[in-house]
Amino acid sequence: MANGVIELNESNFEETVANGVVLVDFWAPWCGPCKMQTPILESQVAGQVEGKAVVAKVNVDDNRNLAVKYSVKSIPAIFIFKNGEVVKQFTGLQKGADLVAAIEEAQ
């Protein structure tokens, strides 16, 4: 991934979300709204929360166990984690300002 957004998978997910605030976007390459969400994360969210939170993506096709663990039924599904716990969830295309506000609220 680029522009401050990292790619998570089953081997690095738990370690990454364990500490601090992490936004995780569950997505798939074939999902239209997911393709629209990525540039929002890269251009509107990642830069504003740099140093305060991690912005990450999980491809649900490649990481089905994570999608099942978090009961992802519709994508994009965005989860805000704080110290390993889910503190907020969104489903569907989200505005950058709403995601930044949720991250700041989770601080």
- Catalytically active residues, by annotation: 31, 34
- Compute the distance between CA of residue 103 and CA of residue 107 in angstroms, rounded to an integer: 6
For the record, the structure tokens of 53 come out as 């939170």
The Cβ-side half-sphere exposure at 17, using a 13 Å CA radius, reads 23
- Compute the distance between CA of residue 107 and CA of residue 100 in angstroms, rounded to an integer: 11
Using CA atoms, how far residue 89 sits from 2, 4, 70, in Å, is 23, 21, 10
